[in-house]
Each structure stands twice: as C-alpha cells, then as structure tokens.
Amino acid sequence: MARIGFLGLGNMGRGMAQRLVEAGHEVTAYNRTRARAEALQGSGIKVADTPREAAHDAEAVFSMVGDDVASRAIWLGEDGALAAQMAADAFVIECSTLSYNWVKELGEQATAQGLRYIDCPVTGLPDAAAAGQLVLLAGAKDSDLKAVTPLLASLNKEIIHFGTIGAGTAYKLMLNLIGAIQIASIAEGMVIAEKAGLDLEKVNHALSLGQAASLQVMRSVKRIIADDHDKDIVFSGRLRLKDASYGVELAHALGVAPEFGQVAVDAFAKLGKLGLEEHNETVVIKAVGVKNR
C-alpha cells in the first residue's frame, strides 16, 4: 500500500480519493476549502493545511483541480507540492483537464526534480469516479506508466496510453472541444424544434433512434427539456468554456483553424454575461438560437 497525497476534493476528486482509501492506501488530502476536506476525515482521509504538507513523504501525489491557475497554485511556490520532500522516484499524477502548454511545463519541472510525471486526465462523471470506473487518458513514459498502473487500479475501468507527456491532455482537449460543439449544436436544434411547435419528448425519442444520438447528446437533451440547469450540476458552463478554450488554443498552436470550436466557445462565453456560468452546461440553450440575445 502507498502513501498518497491528493490535491483537490471537488466532485471528481472526492470520489477518487475515497477509492484510494478503500484500496488500502494512506491518503493525505488538501483542498482550498478546508471544510470540504474535513468532511471526509471520517472516511480515513487525513487533512493537510497546504499542498506541500499533503505531498510530504508521499510515494504518489494526485491532483484534480479546475484549471491552470488552480494547478499552478497547488504545485508551485513555497507551499506547493513540488516543494515537498517526496519519496524517491515518487509519481506526480495530474488528472485535471489543463492547457497543453502548462501540462508540458509541469511535466518538465517534475521530471527535472527526479519525479515520475503521469499526464492523466480522465473521462467519466462523478458517479464513475466514486465507483472506480473512470477511463484514464495517459501520457507518460512506458516504464513509468507500467510502474504506476497497480496504483491506478482502484480508479479505472481502462487506461488508454496515448504517448508521451502531453498526449493524454491533447486527446482530452480534443474530446471536450467536440463535446462543447455537440452541446451548443443540440441546444440550437432544440430551440428550432420548440419554435417549430414540436413535442420535445417526441424529439427526444426520435433523436435516440437516429445517427445523431450519443450519450452526451441524449443527456443534454433531457436536461434541456427538464429546464433544470440550476440543479444537480454535473459540469458547469464555466468549466465547459475553460476546456473548450484550452482546446481552441491547442488547435491554433497545431496550425488548425477551429471554426466550429470557436463558435462553441463564443456561445459558452455568453453565459458569463447572463450570470449563468455556474449552472449546468446545458444552460447554454439560453445563449444560443435567439437573435439579439
């Protein structure tokens, strides 16, 4: 069993940290809002005051935070995890969805300190995190990924190794940019259906039978029909905008003109002006499809 530091106990991180405890590992966690970490103490998770404290003597340090700003804050600086004295050859496992450039930079810094960096964003909702059914999208040295795979066993149903550091993030950003385009387009389609006087439940059923159906599309259609974007928030509009923006940034860096992706970014960006960015991402229907909105 391993000594593990875990940084970030949001909807995803909480379930992942608990899975590691249930697998018998010794987990010390840090969360910016300490009360969220303290709520998990009864499950066997120790609480640290700083990322550096959480990472002290750890054989592996996981991170699951919201964006580049949060990731930099927990890894860097005097109280950052990279300032800790970790075990020899410790793993740095970054599971957050971050920009490609920052992942490469963080990987280089961790490697320069003699640590083994695993670029490891995930797919799956919070219930999959709690059940250990995530898909891990890895970018790492072959030998490092092989060595860390037993430690990851309680978290995933599959690990897909895309290549070296940054490759897992490149796939995740591509995937989430596609998701942003899908959600924005289905929102626009549902506005058309409503304006045409169609029964939206029948639209939902018909879509489920056709080629346009996907888990994400159908989940979004149901939320749009329910119009409950401020309840049971699975993934906020703000986070979708962040991921899509990172994806568009990567596309430009690779010489790709992300025309559809930019349209989706622009749609999700409107949510901030409407004060709806913290609602479920399907609230984007309030920002698309209506002239002069």
Average pLDDT, whole number, for the chain?
95
Q: What is the mean pLDDT of residues 11-28?
A: 96
Asked if 11 and 149 sit in the same domain, the reply is yes
Asked if 52 and 188 sit in the same domain, the reply is no
Q: What is the mean pLDDT of residues 30-58?
A: 90
pLDDT of 26 higher than 50:
yes
Contacts of 285 (CB under 8 A, 6+ apart): 187, 190, 191, 224
pLDDT of 292 higher than 60:
no
Asked if 120 and 177 sit in the same domain, the reply is no
Tell me the residue range of the domain where 229 lies: 170-286
Share of the chain above pLDDT 70, in %: 98
Furthest-apart CA pair in the chain: how many Å?
65
pLDDT of 35 higher than 90:
no
User: Using one digit for the tens of pLDDT, what is the confidence trace for 173-215?
Assistant: 999 999 999 999 999 999 999 999 999 999 999 999 999 899 9
Rounded to two decimals, the pTM is 0.94
Phi, psi for residue 247 in degrees, rounded to 5: -65, -45
pLDDT of 290 higher than 70:
no
pLDDT level of residue 143 (50, 70, 90 thresholds): very high
Q: What is the pLDDT of residue 293?
A: 41
CA distances, 277 to each of 10, 147, 249, 271 (Å): 17, 40, 20, 5
Q: Which of 149, 164, 179 is the last residue of a domain?
A: 164
Asked if 17 and 156 sit in the same domain, the reply is yes
Total domain count, the chain: 2
User: Using one digit for the tens of pLDDT, what is the confidence trace for 238-250?
Assistant: 999 999 999 999 9
Asked if 181 and 137 sit in the same domain, the reply is no
- Burial readout 100-110 (b: 16 or more C-beta within 10 A, e: otherwise): bebbbebbeeb
Q: Which of 164, 179, 202 is the last residue of a domain?
A: 164
- Structure-model confidence comparison of residues 165 and 41, the more confident one: 165
CA distances, 145 to each of 108, 111, 181, 182, 192 (Å): 16, 14, 32, 32, 47
* Region for residue 137 given its phi and psi (left: phi exceeds 0; alpha: psi -120 to 50; beta: otherwise): beta
Contacts of 129 (CB under 8 A, 6+ apart): 11, 12, 13, 14, 15, 16, 19, 122, 155
Q: Are 66 and 242 in contact (CB under 8 A)?
A: yes
Helices (H), the chain: 11-22, 34-38, 51-55, 68-75, 100-112, 126-131, 142-152, 167-195, 200-209, 215-226, 237-253, 259-274
pLDDT level of residue 20 (50, 70, 90 thresholds): very high
pLDDT level of residue 46 (50, 70, 90 thresholds): very high
